[in-house]
Structure 1
Amino acid sequence: MTFYKKLAEDDDFAKRYARAREVQAHREFDEIRDIADRADSESVGLAKLQIDARKWRAGKLAPKVYGEKQAVEHSGPDGGAIAVSGIALRIVRADERGDT
């Protein structure tokens, strides 16, 4: 049985594989501090490249933890405004609020 076939057909194997990839992502991310700590003025360019590569891999292996946060834009149908209903607005004077 090929690896990917086993991955698709064996739920327990798939769960263990996913967990191993998650651990791998944490390890990749943990290496970043070591790389930064070892960098000096001559190796800072290489260290930046290594750090960026590990950040990218960690983001792909565990996107919920290390992935780039994307801005979410909410809109209604056809990109228009979102319809809101059932909201009541009551204007209260400061002396009526009871928190003064």
Structure 2
Amino acid sequence: MPGRQTVLGWLADKDNEGFRTRYAYAREAQADLYAEECIEIADTPVLGTKTVSREWGEEVTEADMIEHRRLQVLTRQWYASKLAPKKYGDKLQADLNHSGTVQVVKLNNEPAPEMPE
């Protein structure tokens, strides 16, 4: 298995377009895998023991480890959004990008202000 620096070098090499394409495909497939794992983790209860120290002693509870599973799901969601932002990222970014034109209309006899470029 090549080291991280080697792979980064291959990605930076202008003659390695095919490698970059395969790498991007692999990363998107990895994001899909994490999304599928989120569903599996959310649907599979995991029983465990939680111990809490109290003034009078320790309280031991056996139950579903919901906090741990929630962390697993959120971590995979976050990472998938970084690997494939168009597919799993926040959709708010698409709404913020302006792709149209802006028209300045003069409402009175005063000249319109100069717009910086």
**TM-score of the alignment, normalized to the shorter chain, above 0.5:** yes
The change in CA–CA distance for 1:2 and 1:38 in structure 2 (over 3 A counts) is same
Number of aligned positions between the proteins: 78
1:83 corresponds to 2:89: no
Shift of 1:61: 0.3
CA distance in 2, matches of 1:50, 1:12: 33
Please list every run of at least 4 consecutive aligned residues from structure 1 whose deviation after the TM superposition is greater than 6 angstroms. Answer: none
1:2 corresponds to 2:6: yes
> Aligned runs of 1:1-100 on 2, under 5 Å?
2-9=6-13, 10-39=16-45, 42-70=64-92, 71-72=95-96, 82-83=102-103
Post-superposition Cα deviations, 1:48-75, rounded to whole Å, max 9, x if no partner, equal 100000000000000000001124276x
* Aligned-partner residue type, residue 43 of structure 2: D
Gaps of 5+ in 2: 47-62, 106-117
Instruction: Specify the alignment match of 1:95 in structure 2.
Output: none
Shift of 1:43: 1.1
Shift of 1:84: 6.2
Higher helix content, 1 or 2? 1
The change in CA–CA distance for 1:5 and 1:73 in structure 2 (over 3 A counts) is closer
Q: % of aligned pairs identical?
A: 40
